[in-house]
Amino acid sequence: MAARRWPIRCAGQRPDLQIGPPRNCKYDGPRGCHAPAVRAEPGRSPVSTTPSSLRRELRVVNPATLEDVGLVATTEPEGVGEIVAEARYAQEQWARQPFAVRTRLLRDAARALLESMDEIAATIVAETGKPTLEAITTEVFVSLDTLAWLARHAGQVLRRERVPFRQPHLLHKRGWLSYEPLGVVAIVSPWNFPFSIPFTQAATAVAAGNAAVVKPAELTPLSGAWVEEIFRRAGAPTGLVRVVQGTGETVGDTLVRSRGIGRIVFTGSPAVGRAVAVNAAERLCPVTLELGGKDPMLVLGDADLDRAVEGALWGSFSNCGQICSGVERIYVEGDLFDPFVSRLLDRAAALTIGDGSNADVELGPLVSEEQRSHVEDLVADAVAAGAVLVAGGGRPDVGLPGWFHEPTILVGEPDARISGEEIFGPVVTIVKIDNAEDGIRRSNASTYGLGASVWTRDRAKARAVASRLEAGSVWTNDVAYSYGACQAPWGGRKESGFGRTHAQHGLRELSHVKFSDADSGRVSPPWWFPYDDRAADGFRAAAGVVYGRGAAARARVLWRQRRGLVALGRRALGRR
């Protein structure tokens, strides 16, 4: 199939073919440049860039069929600064809008997203090979939930807060905290969730009064382009949400180094995340980093076996294992080990492998040949180090030339790369543990700390174990679901990064926290000039009266230091 070049529609122009956005979409176009939604195989996707930026192209390949999906024009690095400046201009106007206007945009974006659900899902499936159901649930549905939560709660989360003053020397003051926009948020997103990650982060930025410039992964530019298109269809001000296309080494690096960026939100590998953080530190730009994981699953002896097996199956093999919060290590207690492994083997063997565009497919391909080679190398190294390969390990014969890999199960914890490195493929290791304490120790031995799950019928035990696991999220009898629940913050610790997206924490992370106060000016601060012994004695007395332990002790200080306190009061009244 010949590669399709995606046409570009600029402001004030009409596409040559009538394949653009719906007739009733809102578009105020005096500035900027937008691409229409264009029919592709098997779906259609928008592409966005600026007129001066059309120089090179990204080739998009379907990882299941290895057919060309399309060619996407990239953004010249020299044009990134212009796009950031345009976003800043739009943001300055947007920040002045009341929350009612922001809420209306979020709800209009939800409407546009619902109307485009099948097109977006088809684009995601074509670029990633993931099953259609996963494209709908973990990409579109999650994004709709984020929009709904933000529309309901952003105004409340970001409203001005009173700061009470209860100290005797500050009782005359009134204070407030306000959450102000940062400006332009740079979002550098990965290929494993090419729509939901950048879209939800952009939506959060917009809800907080910011603009967003998104750099999708070069393997999935078409899915990422939908982020700008949905906001365009929703009637967002031109430039408020932009997408730049290109490689991380060129366009991505230029974006995160741009002086006009107020915060960087990066999702990707620890190595690249460190480089982003170093670059940002040079100009003191704050960053949010989500850098992957190697999540453990602790199956305790009293767990519901059937539920634990189904959770392990989905947690290990959904999205072909290419999930930062997917299950990569399973620790099973005592006598439950053998029946757990046996049932998981049976269920893994029954998974339907193939092209994700087929409704019954449950396991698609890996995203690239490079990724499959990485997975195969880790498995081979583990087996050589003593791990027992009990299922999979090879390339399945599914009648397609794509980058497929069998669901693979290893038993044992070898001294090999797989024990420490993120696999990011359909491979899981299972280890027998003596007790919960053993499982906690092994779980926390990882350098990652994104998520973990505890499987038991005992809620008290689950809470006790969860409190000791070094992870950003811990789920009981479930796995990774909270990424799709916007009220739950998302992020990790250790080499899984720092900062949070989602929930009130994500909104406030994309805000500048400002304290301001009101003071009538009638009370003079007693710590102002001039300094003298009476002022020092007064503050010694005040410290004992206000912060002393026990009423009797405070009363003694009050009596002994009364002259100092009187002097302090006179200073406050301006009688120095």
Strand boundaries in 434-501, DSSP class E: 448-449, 451-455, 473-476, 493-494, 497-498
Cα 449 from Cα 291, distance rounded (Å): 10
Of the candidates 417, 474, 415, 416, the one whose C-alpha atom is nearest the C-alpha of residue 443 is 474
Cβ pair 85, 95 in contact under 8 A: no
- Nearest Cα neighbor of 188 from 196, 198, 180 is 198
Distances (CA, A) of 84 to 87, 240, 264, 277: 5, 10, 13, 19
**Neighbouring residues of 550: CB distance < 8 A, sequence distance ≥ 6:** none
368 near 412, Cβ under 8 Å?
A: no
Is 426 in a helix, a strand, or coil?
coil
DSSP string, 52-80: GG-S-EEEEE-TTT--EEEEEEPPPHHHH
Q: Is 488 helix (H, G, I), strand (E, B) or coil?
A: coil
| Contact (CB, 8 A) for 541 and 568 | yes
HEC string for 361-424: CCECCCCCHHHHHHHHHHHHHHHHCCCEEEECCCCCCCCCCCCCCCCEEEECCCCCHHHCCCCC
Helix axes 117-128, 99-115, angle to 10 degrees: 70
Q: For residues 194 and 574, what is the distance between their CA atoms, to the nearest angstrom?
A: 63
What is the rounded CA–CA span in Å between residue 91 and residue 202? 13
DSSP 198-211: HHHHHHHHHHTT-E
Backbone angles phi, psi at 189, to 5 degrees: -115, 160
Token look-up 């399973």 returns 330
* Segment holding 313, helix H or strand E: helix 305-317
- Phi and psi at residue 293, in whole multiples of 5°? -165, 175
Catalytically active residues are 215, 290, 324, 422
Other C-beta atoms within 10 Å of 389: how many?
17
Rounded Cα gap, residues 495 and 112, in angstroms: 37
> What is d(CA 143, CA 435) in angstroms, rounded to the nearest whole number?
39
Q: How far apart are CA 340 and CA 28, in angstroms?
A: 58
Distance CA 53, CA 46 (A): 16
DSSP 195: T
Phi (first) and psi of residue 283, to 5 degrees: -120, 20
Q: In the 8-state DSSP scheme, what is residue 51? A: G
